[in-house]
């Protein structure tokens, strides 16, 4: 009876645990759907991608493999037991022999193997950190691109609304004989071109949506809503000098730390191969039992080791030394490439900043005056179609170029952060 009660309690606890787990999973899915419906901020999108990006989640599985390699490298070799049947010529019965052999771990080889396995685990961890940093920057770039495309779509919608107002006004003027049908045709063609540009913009949005879906690990036909301003820091103090950024990159980038871990692995492999050139012993023991009247029991203890007279392990040592030299050269090349990437990204960011500042200082005031004049012209019925269309095209192009300049500045900012390996606001802290 007591056993039945205990089993019933265990089943009830298991059922409750399954219900709790199911509810937790449902709550998590609900939170994801709610966040996707309300829109992702930039930081929220990054956190979501770091948790659910499928490629990143698969890449993290390498950590378990490296941890298993440490366990293998720390294992002691098992002894070998051998059982034999022995036929003695002086007797009719069979005897038996038991042999036990064991090779104790060579201290240097054992230590080098464990050190190499630990270095490999560190390499994997640094590579995972590098991958996470890469995904985070890709998400921020895709998020900023979508925000800019949304802003550009607002511009095109406003432009089409304005041209519809111009079309209604032009039709009124045609009925009073103050305009011609050729002007109406010009305006209609202009609206068709604007709609074509809007269609191209929608295609860009679709491509950006697909990229963001992949990065966030969201399988859905519905577009992902994004919110928040495009982060653009124009203050000169927000951009540290190139040399300090290069020094920060050399200490912060996980890729360089992973390269250093590879060098440590090669050093330990070379250490192990050099230790193997010296002989190492194997212990053995044997017990034999027969029906012999003179010597029914016999024991044997021995030690065995190779003689390094023909092979001093020169080939593996030479290979390990060459691989170490190769890893050091690759690390040096990566070091130089990274440093130059920081300098290049810094120079591009400075140029992008000057372009955005020029738009803010010279172009935006002209666009604001144009919008006021356009509104006054429409209210007063002053419609010079050719001049209005030309000025409207110029104003739209300037606004679009300004938004693209801000996006290019943001991309250059993210490219510099990607090269440095940490946010620019944290450099020097």
Does the pLDDT at position 5 exceed 60? no
Residue 355 has pLDDT above 90, yes or no: yes
* Digit-coded pLDDT (tens) for 174-230: 777 766 777 777 777 778 888 888 899 999 999 999 999 999 999 988 999 999 887
Residues 261 and 257: their CA atoms lie apart, in Å, by: 6
- The CATH homologous superfamily of the domain defined by 41-74+106-277+312-426: Outer membrane efflux proteins (OEP) (1.20.1600.10)
> Which residues, including other chains, have CB under 8 Å from residue 82's CB and lie 6 or more apart?
98, 99, 100, 101
Structure confidence at residue 7 (pLDDT): 36
User: What is residue 311's predicted lDDT score, i.e. its pLDDT?
Assistant: 86
Q: Is 386's pLDDT higher than 60? A: no
Task: Supply the DSSP string of 13-70, one letter for each residue.
Answer: HHHHHHHHHHHHHHHHHHHHHHHHHH-B-HHHHHHHHHHH-HHHHHHHTHHHHHHHHH
Percent of the chain at pLDDT > 70 equals 82
User: Which value, in Å, is the radius of gyration of the alpha carbons in the chain?
Assistant: 37
pLDDT, residue 388, reads: 65
Q: How confident is the model at residue 163 (pLDDT cuts 50, 70, 90)?
A: confident
Mean pLDDT rounded to a whole number for the chain: 84
Query: Quick one: pLDDT at residue 95?
Result: 80
How is residue 363 annotated by DSSP?
I
Contact between 277 and 108 under an 8 Å Cβ cutoff? The reply is no
What is the spatial distance between Cα 272 and Cα 110, in angstroms, rounded to a whole number?
8
pLDDT average, residue stretch 374-381:
64
Q: Name the residue among 245, 233, 268, 217 with its Cα closest to residue 344.
A: 245
Q: What is the pLDDT of residues 66-110, one digit of tens each?
A: 999 999 999 999 999 999 887 766 556 678 889 999 999 999 999
Average pLDDT estimate for 161-185: 75
Average pLDDT over residues 5-29: 42
Q: What percent of the chain has pLDDT over 90?
A: 53
Please say if the pLDDT value at position 323 is more than 90.
Answer: yes
Higher pLDDT among residues 20 and 409, named by residue? 409
Question: Which among 234, 97, 169 is positioned nearest to 379, based on CA atoms?
Answer: 169
Strand partners of residue 299: 287
pLDDT of residue 169: 75
Over 80: is that where the pLDDT of 238 sits? no
For range 15-20, the mean pLDDT? 42
Checking if the pLDDT of 273 tops 90, the result is: yes
pLDDT of residue 345 exceeding 80: yes
Contact 305, 112 (CB under 8 A): no
Q: Which of 122-136, 255-269, 278-292 has the lowest mean pLDDT?
A: 278-292
Instruction: Return the residue matching tokens 């090349």.
Output: 333
Q: What pLDDT does residue 188 have?
A: 79
pLDDT (average), residues 335-346: 95
């Amino acid at each position: 009876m007591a056993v039945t009660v205990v089993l019933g309690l265990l089943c009830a606890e298991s059922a409750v645990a399954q219900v709790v787990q199911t509810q937790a999973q449902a709550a998590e899915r609900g939170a994801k759907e709610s966040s996707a419906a309300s829109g992702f901020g930039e930081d929220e999108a990054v956190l979501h991608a770091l948790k659910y990006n499928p490629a990143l989640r698969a890449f993290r599985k390498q950590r378990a493999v490296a941890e298993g390699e440490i366990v293998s490298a720390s294992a002691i070799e098992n002894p070998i037991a051998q059982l034999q049947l022995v036929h003695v010529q002086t007797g009719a019965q069979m005897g038996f022999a038991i042999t036990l052999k064991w090779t104790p771990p060579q201290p240097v080889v054992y230590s080098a193997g464990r050190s190499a396995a630990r270095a490999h685990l560190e390499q994997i961890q640094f590579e995972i950190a590098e991958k996470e940093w890469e995904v985070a920057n890709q998400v921020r770039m895709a998020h900023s691109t979508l925000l800019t495309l949304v802003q550009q779509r607002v511009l095109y919608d406003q432009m089409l609304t304005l041209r519809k107002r111009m079309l209604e006004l032009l039709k009124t003027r045609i009925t009073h004989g103050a305009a011609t049908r050729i002007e109406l045709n010009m305006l209609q063609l202009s609206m068709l071109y604007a709609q074509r540009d809007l269609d191209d913009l929608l295609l860009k949005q679709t491509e950006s949506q697909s990229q963001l879906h992949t990065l966030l690990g969201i399988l859905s036909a519905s577009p992902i809503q994004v919110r928040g301003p495009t982060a653009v820091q124009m203050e000169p103090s927000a951009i540290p000098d190139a040399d300090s950024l290069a020094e920060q990159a050399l200490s912060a980038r996980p890729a360089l730390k992973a390269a250093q871990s590879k060098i440590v692995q090669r050093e330990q492999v070379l250490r192990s191969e050099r230790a193997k050139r010296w002989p190492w012993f194997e212990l053995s023991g044997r017990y034999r039992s027969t029906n012999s009247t003179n010597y029914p029991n016999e024991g044997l203890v021995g030690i065995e080791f190779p003689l390094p007279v023909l092979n001093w392990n020169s080939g593996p040592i030479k290979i390990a030394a060459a691989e170490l030299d190769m890893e050091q050269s690759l690390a040096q090349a990566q070091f130089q490439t990274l440093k130059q990437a920081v300098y290049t990204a810094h120079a591009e960011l400075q140029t992008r900043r000057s372009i955005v500042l020029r738009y803010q200082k010279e172009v935006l005031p002209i666009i604001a005056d144009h919008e006021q004049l356009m509104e006054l012209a429409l209210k007063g019925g002053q419609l010079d179609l050719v001049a209005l269309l030309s000025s409207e095209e110029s104003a739209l192009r300037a606004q679009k170029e300004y938004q693209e300049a801000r996006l290019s500045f943001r991309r250059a900012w993210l490219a510099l952060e990607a090269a440095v390996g940490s946010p620019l606001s944290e450099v020097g802290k």
